[in-house]
């Protein structure tokens, strides 16, 4: 398949068609330049872009500043190997506030300075200080202009990416029983919906499997998949933990907190 055909195969909307074109443009740019990279991508955008690149056999690397980052960049060219240190397109800022602040407070204050969302990666909220991952090209502007988080004054300091301690995912573990691993059956069991309600939500494109829209109620899901339903949350289908006496599958579900 050529680039246009691949984009049409994997894209789920017009925005992804445009994103696909930009990805191939960046990959070609790296053929004549030392390095090129995207801004931060959402998990859904990452899955889409990686599908294009893997199908095209175009070499790339991805990273978000620390192991397990949710929002990541795609990097092309020889410079893609330099994801840490001063050569990295990503940098980390430590935010010290005299009072507790939340994810929404930090993001709102940053975007309030006129910075686009895709220039900002993950936000790791801590008890005494938080860490903000950003594109290095906005570092000078942000360090000068970010003076408050909400109503609280903030002290901003760049810290090494290597100093970031990846947060451990937090889950509530539950068990549900289903007749099959169909998407509608699993969503209905986890969210206490009827099969008809689950099917309606799926057909309205409210469900995702591994961060991609899934609009077929009969779609088979597998252990290890991350499922979500808009307005209900996200969970990991951890494992099939055996069968019930009635022959149903017993699933271990880890719901994200």
Whether the pTM exceeds 0.85: the reply is yes
Alpha-carbon torsion, ordered 30, 36, 40, 41, to 10 deg: -10
- The DSSP secondary-structure symbol of 232 reads T
- pLDDT score for 169: 85
| Rounded distance between C-alpha atoms, residue 61 and residue 113, angstroms | 30
The domain that holds 217 is classified in CATH as 3.10.290.10
In order of 191, 197, 220, 238, 253, the CA distances from 187 in angstroms are: 6, 10, 12, 14, 11
What is the separation of C-alpha 193 from the centre of its chain, rounded to a whole number of angstroms? 26
Q: Does residue 8 share a domain with residue 60? A: yes
Strands laid side by side in the 73-76 sheet: 36-37, 73-76, 61-63
Closest CA to 183 of 206, 154, 158: 206
In order of 24, 223, 225, 253, the CA distances from 236 in angstroms are: 32, 8, 6, 6
- pLDDT score for 88: 87
Q: Which residues, given as ranges, of the chain have pLDDT below 50?
A: none
Q: Does residue 109 share a domain with residue 60? A: no
Q: Does residue 43 share a domain with residue 94? A: no
Q: Does residue 79 share a domain with residue 137? A: no
Range of the domain at 79: 3-83
How many domains is the chain built from?
Answer: 3
The domain that holds 114 is classified in CATH as 3.30.70.330
Q: Does residue 138 share a domain with residue 115? A: yes
Residue where a domain terminates, one of 42, 68, 83: 83
Residue where a domain terminates, one of 163, 187, 216: 163
- Six token digits for residue 202: 């799926």
| Distance separating the N- and C-terminal Cα atoms of the chain | 41
Q: Does residue 96 share a domain with residue 57? A: no
Residue where a domain terminates, one of 129, 163, 197: 163
Q: Does residue 94 share a domain with residue 76? A: no
Per-residue pLDDT reduced to its tens digit, 156-176: 999 999 999 888 889 999 999
Q: Which residues are CB-neighbours of 113 under 8 A, at least 6 positions away?
A: 141, 142, 145, 146
Alpha-carbon torsion, ordered 139, 99, 64, 35, to 10 deg: 0
- pLDDT score for 1: 86
The domain that holds 72 is classified in CATH as 3.30.1370.160
């Amino acid at each position: 398949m050529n680039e246009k055909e691949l984009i049409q195969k994997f894209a789920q909307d017009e925005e992804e068609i445009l994103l696909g074109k930009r990805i191939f443009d960046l990959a070609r740019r790296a053929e004549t330049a030392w390095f090129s990279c995207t801004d931060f991508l959402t998990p859904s955008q990452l899955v889409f872009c990686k599908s294009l690149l893997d199908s095209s056999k175009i070499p790339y690397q991805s990273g978000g500043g620390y192991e397990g980052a949710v929002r990541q960049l795609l990097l092309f060219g020889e410079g893609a190997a330099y994801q840490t240190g001063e050569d990295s397109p990503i940098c980390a800022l430590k935010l010290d506030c005299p009072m507790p602040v939340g994810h929404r407070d930090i993001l709102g204050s940053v975007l309030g300075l006129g910075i686009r969302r895709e220039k900002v990666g993950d936000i790791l909220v801590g008890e005494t200080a938080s860490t903000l991952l950003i594109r290095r090209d906005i570092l000078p502007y942000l360090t000068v202009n970010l003076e408050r988080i909400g109503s609280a004054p903030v002290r901003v300091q760049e810290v090494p990416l290597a100093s970031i301690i990846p947060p451990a995912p937090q889950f509530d573990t539950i068990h549900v029983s289903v007749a099959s691993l169909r998407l509608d059956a699993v969503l209905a069991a986890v969210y206490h919906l009827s099969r008809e309600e689950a099917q309606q939500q799926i057909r309205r494109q409210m469900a995702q499997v591994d961060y991609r829209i899934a609009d077929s109620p009969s779609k088979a899901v597998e252990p290890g998949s991350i499922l979500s339903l808009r307005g209900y949350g996200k969970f990991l289908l951890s494992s099939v933990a055996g069968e019930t006496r009635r022959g149903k599958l017993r699933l271990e579900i880890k719901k994200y907190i």
